[in-house]
Chain A
Amino acid sequence: MASKAHTPPKLAIRLLQLFLRNDLAEEVLGDLDEKFQHIANNNSTRKAKLNYWYQVFNYIRPFALKHNRSNSNYFIMYQHNLKLTYRNLLKYKSSFIINVIGLSTGLACALLIFLWVSDEVSMDKFHKKDQHLYQVFLNHDENGLLRTGPESPGIMAEALQQEIPEITMAVEDTPAEWFDENFSLSDGENFIKAKGKFSGKDYFNLFNFPFKHGDPLRSLTDKSSIVITESLALKLFGTTENLLGKMVDYHLLHLKKQAQITGVIKDLPINSTIQFDFVLPFEVFKDIVGKGMHWGNYNAVTFVELASGTDVTSLNKKLGNFIKAKLEGSNVTPFVSKFSNNYLYGNYENGTQSGGRITYVKLFSLIGLFVLAIACINFMNLTTARASRRLKEIGVKKALGAQRSSLIVQFLSESVMVTVFSLLVAFGLVWTVLPQFNGITGKFLSLQFNTNLIVGTLGIALATGLLAGSYPALYLSGFKPINILKGKLNASFGDVWIRKGLVIFQFSLSIIMIVCVLVVYQQIEYIQSKNLGYDKENILSIPMEGQAVYNTEAFMTELKKVPGVINASCTSHTLVKSGSYTTGVTWPGKNPEVEIRFEQAAVYYGLIETLGIELLKGRSFSKEYASEDSKIVFNEAAINVMGLEDPIGKTVNLWGDDMVIIGVVKNFNYASLHSEVEPMLFRMNEEFYPYGFIKISGNDIATTIQNIENFYKKFNPEYAFEYTFLDQNFQAQYIAEARVSVLSRYFASIAIIISCLGLFGLAAFTAERRQKEIGVRKILGAGNLKIIGLLSNDFTKMVLTAILIALPIGYYISSNWLGTFAYHIQLKWWFFMLSGLLALTIAWLTISFQTIKAANVNPVNCLKDD
């Protein structure tokens, strides 16, 4: 007899129902139940229950399992989602385009910055001995302040290698920049200007510049050897083969020598701060310097290789007194620092390392991330603003039983797809903009599709897509179907404040950028047009070499006779940047404790006249007087500093020699406008002045130059006539500013684009939210214009807030930047007003589309759902 008290174990039943196919449920449960009853009646309930469990577990077979757990059939869902996404973007093209613009701009920015940063970070790191490669720096104690510089005595390398066990190799070197354009090589006929330097014999052992021909380790052992680069070889000989052993002549100022090629190196990599065309052995330099090779003269740089495991800090302590021990009264303390770090960490303040280019690297990385973040936020903004479009779709899906997670996956995949598409567009953008970007940054970046780049960018795109899509996905999937089908929209107040805050923030940024652009532009105009105190128009700058040096007097006299030449002279000062200075001036009444720097220039007759510098008192150097080499001219600032009244005829002491003051010139800017005009002295006691300046007539410049060239060929046949215009040289000092100008313009445009996107999203959002309100107002009689005004009112308030926030910050930033110039414009009020107005106009244009559309809506459409 079946007892009603016997029931199969409930847990087992629940388990079964969990995994069993629904259509099998009836028969399986029936069978199991019957079996249970059977056993319960014939044996025991306990046995029946055990058997029941046994049977249940045995139903865990493939054929009996439930088929579709909501999204287990991934492939079909993806197809469906793809279809939906495609249809969506076709239906709402404008939204899609705006999103793509926003994201691709952000991604392109991030990409460019990524390329730039990876290039910066890779500088100089390619040498094999990089880990142990260090450079020697000297801390000069000047009146208590420490000045750090890489210049060290030429004899230091040898001493270091011999005396310090931790230093396994030390190489002396002279940077090619020191010799500027003064080196030229010839194969016997043609002379070519090239960048050369002198290096110790172990140079190529320490540094890894791959050799095409020749042995790196032995290329500089012979005093008469020379190592040249491929491109120099091509220029000189037209080939890079069979050059070992060939002879070349080289000229350095008035030095002429011959050397034998012992090595041809492959062209130097771009990411090396060390650049040169050829290398001569350091021994030659030692000969040139002669007695100047001592511990008080810092005429070389020194590189060392440290033994493995050396503790740099204790080594530096050890080196502290290295030079002081060799030279009494020396005020320098040497220390070593890793060579490849110098590029990014090259700034020293009072002896300690204080950053350098690394600040830019960090800054730009931050900016890149920031721009990307803003692009993501805009995407979120726009997508959630247009949420009401997807309501029906979401409502129906949920009502049919879609789980929230599947909706989230759908929206996330949508945003990832849009991001990947934007990434492709971004690649296109970067590819087009890269040449200009390289021009601005002075680099040679390229889009090489190596694994690093692809993985990096895909990662960024994925992260951006997920991040940007996360909020919309959560927001959209969270709608309650009942609300949607009832027609209620989900809008919380907190939401609106976030959006408003974001727009204000973005607009503030844009306004700051606009202010910066204006200020930079004005300052550069000012730089171009400011009177420097001398006439830089139509002045040719030429290097003095060959016969011009040996026979300066004849050269100048003949040169001035060339038709079109008004005046000519030469000097040791470049006139565009600070050259050499000295503290060795003493005058009656000078305070012996205080050291004053005097910019110093050795000049030839007529320099002051050639440049048109105004003479305030006395006279300048002239052939009419004898012993001009014991005379001196100062500028106004110098006279003020010395506190001399009636300076003409007074005597001062320069480097131990008495000099009589014969003239005072008006202050003029001898360096870039970053620096103040400091005291300056002019003397005429040199044998040789490297920079020649020729003032030519403004008419028919081409002919004049041709005339000069003809003259030069006759006078100085061994050298090609090369010239630049002085105002070109002058411009070259402001490369950094030119870059800032271009970059700030780009950044400003990007900031504006992004802000407009943000504003557009907000406008769309509020227009939707206020649909009913607009409908009611229209019915009550409000005209279209009134509605537009009403909607715009809100946004105007936001832009005004942005202006209020941005202007003080803009003022602060621009006055800081202008502060780096000793001579700058004043910040005028109209800069700021213009920026504000511009921002306002842009904002109005952006929202006009939305507001006009919203104002024109038929009130029936928005109210009929109620």
Chain B
Amino acid sequence: MKETRLGEFEEVILLIVGILGEDAYALRVADEFESQTKRAVSIGAVHSSLNRLSEKGFLKSDMGKSSPERGGRRKRIYTITAEGSTVLNNARDFRLSLWDQFPDFSTKFVGISHL
């Protein structure tokens, strides 16, 4: 069953995974989320979200390098799948179209052409 809806939190997490690229593991995503949104979040919550997104098919993951700070343990790196990109694009397009219809905040410049 393809879930194509994305919660707000999930969308943000998904975007951050895209932003971090090769460094997208639970801890980094959580830290990035905190620094970007100024909201405190536990690693567990982020992990849970990442897990759910994987189950929905928007993310895939692989084990990455280990390091001494982690006591020699490897980390799990998440990457966005094709479906994930699609769903992100859909979400953005949907938002943009709504914002277009919204008075005052139009992204279209009325009467001014783009040079």
Where the two chains meet, the residues of A that have a C-beta atom closer than 8 Å to any C-beta of B are 2, 26-35, 37-38, 54-55, 58-61, 63-64
Residues from chain B with a CB closer than 8 A to the CB of A34 are 27, 67, 69-70
Give the 4 A-B CB pairs with smallest separation, nearest first. A30-B73, A58-B42, A58-B44, A30-B70
Q: B71 to A27, Cβ gap below 8 A?
A: no
Other-chain contact of A2, B27, B47, B66, B69 (Cβ < 8 Å): B69
Of B26, B44, B48, the most chain A CB neighbours within 10 A belong to: B44
Given A2-B68, A35-B27, A37-B69, decide whether A30 and B74 contact each other with a Cβ distance below 8 A: yes
- For the complex, what is the distance from the CA of A5 to the CA of B45, rounded to whole Å? 29
- Does B5 belong to the interface (CB within 8 Å)? no
Are A55 and B68 neighbours in the complex by a CB distance under 8 Å? Answer: no
Verify if B52 is at the interface (C-beta below 8 Å from A).
yes
> Across the interface, do B52 and A27 meet the contact criterion of CB distance under 8 Å?
no
Q: Is B85 an interface residue (CB 8 A)?
A: no
Question: Beyond A27-B76, A55-B43: 12 further Cβ-contacts under 8 Å?
Answer: A26-B73, A28-B26, A30-B73, A30-B74, A30-B75, A31-B25, A31-B27, A31-B75, A34-B67, A37-B69, A59-B43, A60-B44
The reply to whether B73 and A29 form a contact with Cβ atoms under 8 Å apart is: yes
- Residues from chain A with a CB closer than 8 A to the CB of B70 are 29-31, 33-34
Which chain B positions have C-beta within 8 A of A61? 44-45, 48
Contacts of B74 in A (CB 8 A): 26-27, 30
Contact with A along B52-65 (1 / 0, CB 8 A): 10000000000100
Q: Which residue of A lies closest to B29 (CB)?
A: A31
A58 touching B43 by the CB < 8 A rule?
A: yes
Determine whether B81 belongs to the interface, using a CB cutoff of 8 Å to chain A. no
User: A26-B73, A27-B74, A33-B70 known; A59 and B47 CB under 8 Å?
Assistant: yes
Separation in Å of the B46 CB from the closest CB of chain A?
A: 9
Shortest C-beta distance, A20 to chain B (Å), equals 10
CB <8 Å contact, A33 and B69: yes
Q: How long is the Cα–Cα vector from A28 to B67 in the complex, in angstroms?
A: 14
Please indicate the chain B residues that have their CB under 8 angstroms from the CB of A63 in the complex.
Answer: 47-48, 51-52
Q: Could you list some 26 contacts between A and B, CB below 8 A?
A: A2-B68, A2-B69, A26-B63, A26-B74, A27-B26, A28-B43, A30-B66, A30-B70, A31-B25, A31-B26, A31-B43, A31-B70, A33-B71, A33-B73, A34-B67, A34-B69, A34-B70, A38-B69, A54-B42, A55-B42, A58-B42, A59-B42, A59-B47, A60-B44, A63-B48, A63-B51
A27: chain B residues within 8 A (beta carbon): 25-26, 63, 73-76
Distance A408 CA – B42 CA, assembled complex (angstroms): 42
How far, in angstroms, from A26 to B66 measured CA to CA in the complex? 10
Q: In the docked arrangement, what's the CA distance between A33 and B25, Å?
A: 14
Given A58-B42, A63-B52, CB of A29 within 8 Å of CB of B69: no
Nearest-neighbor residue (CB-CB) of B77 within chain A: A27
Residues of B bordering A, CB below 8 Å: 25-27, 42-45, 47-48, 51-52, 63, 66-71, 73-76
- Complex Cα–Cα for A59 and B73 (A): 18
Minimum C-beta distance from B22 to chain A (A): 16
Point out which of A2, A31, A38, A64 has the most chain B C-beta atoms below 10 A from its C-beta.
A31
**Bound Cα distance A59, B51 (Å):** 12
> Complex Cα distance A61/B48, Å?
8
* Bound complex: CA A334 to CA B68 (Å): 102
Bound-complex Cα distance A27 to B67 (A): 12
Asked whether A64 and B47 contact (CB < 8 A) given A27-B74, A30-B74, A37-B69, the answer is: yes
Which residues of chain B are near A37, meaning CB under 8 Å?
A: 69
B23 to chain A, nearest CB (A): 12
Chain A positions within 8 Å of B43 at CB level: 28, 31-32, 35, 55, 58-59
A38 to B31, CA, bound (A): 11
B27 → chain A closest CB, angstroms: 4
Q: Which residues of A contact B47 (CB under 8 A)?
A: 28, 31, 59, 63-64
What residues of B have a CB within 8 angstroms of the CB of A64 in the complex? 44, 47-48
Residues on the A chain within 8 Å of B52, using CB: 63
Complex: chain A residue closest to B40, CB-CB: A54
List B contacts of A54 (CB < 8 A): 42
Q: How distant is the Cα of A28 from the Cα of B27 in the complex, in angstroms?
A: 9
Distance between Cα atoms of A37 and B68 in the complex (Å): 10
CB-CB < 8 A to B63: which residues of A? 26-27
CA distance A660 to B31 in the complex (A): 131
- When chains A and B are docked, how far (Å) is the Cα of A811 from the Cα of B115? 126
Give the Cβ gap from A24 to chain B, nearest Cβ, in Å. 8
Contact partners of A55 in chain B: CB under 8 A: 42-44
Give the nearest-CB partner of A63 in chain B: B51
A106–B63 CA distance with the chains assembled, in angstroms: 64
Inter-chain CA distance A55–B42, complex, in Å, is 6
A490 to B57, CA, bound (A): 55
Nearest residue in B to A24 (C-beta to C-beta)?
A: B47
CA distance A310 to B60 in the complex (A): 87
Which residues of chain A are near B45, meaning CB under 8 Å? 58, 61
CB distance from B39 to the nearest CB of A (A): 14
CA distance A55 to B52 in the complex (A): 19
Q: How far is the CB of A21 from chain B (nearest CB, A)?
A: 10
- Minimum CB–CB distance from B77 to chain A (whole Å) comes to 10
CB-CB nearest in chain A for B73:
A30
**Contacts of A59 on B, CB cut-off 8 Å?**
42-44, 47
Rounded to whole angstroms, the CA-CA distance of A315 and B24 in the bound complex is 95
Question: Within the assembled complex, what's the spacing in Å between the Cα atoms of A292 and B48?
Answer: 102
Bound-complex Cα distance A60 to B42 (A): 11
Complex Cα spacing A60 to B47, Å: 11
How far is A26 from B69 in the complex, measured between Cα atoms in Å?
Answer: 13
Question: A728: shortest Cβ distance to chain B, in Å?
Answer: 85
- Provide the bound-state CA to CA distance between A2 and B67, in Å: 13
Complex-state Cα separation, A32 to B26, whole angstroms: 10
In the complex, what's the smallest C-beta–C-beta distance from A13 to chain B, in angstroms?
A: 11
Task: Please report the C-alpha to C-alpha distance between residue A54 and residue B52 in the assembled complex, in whole angstroms.
Answer: 22
- B residues near A29, Cβ cutoff 8 Å: 70-71, 73
In the complex, what residues of A have CB within 8 A of residue B51's CB? 63
Measured CB to CB, the closest approach of chain A to B62, in angstroms, equals 11
CB-defined contacts of A35 to chain B, threshold 8 Å: 27, 43
Complex CA–CA separation, A63 to B27 (angstroms): 17
Bound together, the chains give a CA A424 to CA B52 distance in angstroms of 51
Contact across chains for A30 and B71 when beta carbons are under 8 A apart: yes
Q: With A and B bound together, what is the CA distance between A60 and B45 in angstroms?
A: 10
Q: Report the separation of the CA atoms of residues A851 and B48 in the bound assembly, to the nearest whole angstrom.
A: 67
* Chain A residues near B73 (CB-CB < 8 A): 26-27, 29-30, 33
Closest CB in chain B relative to A752 CB, distance in Å: 66
Bound complex: CA A136 to CA B60 (Å): 94
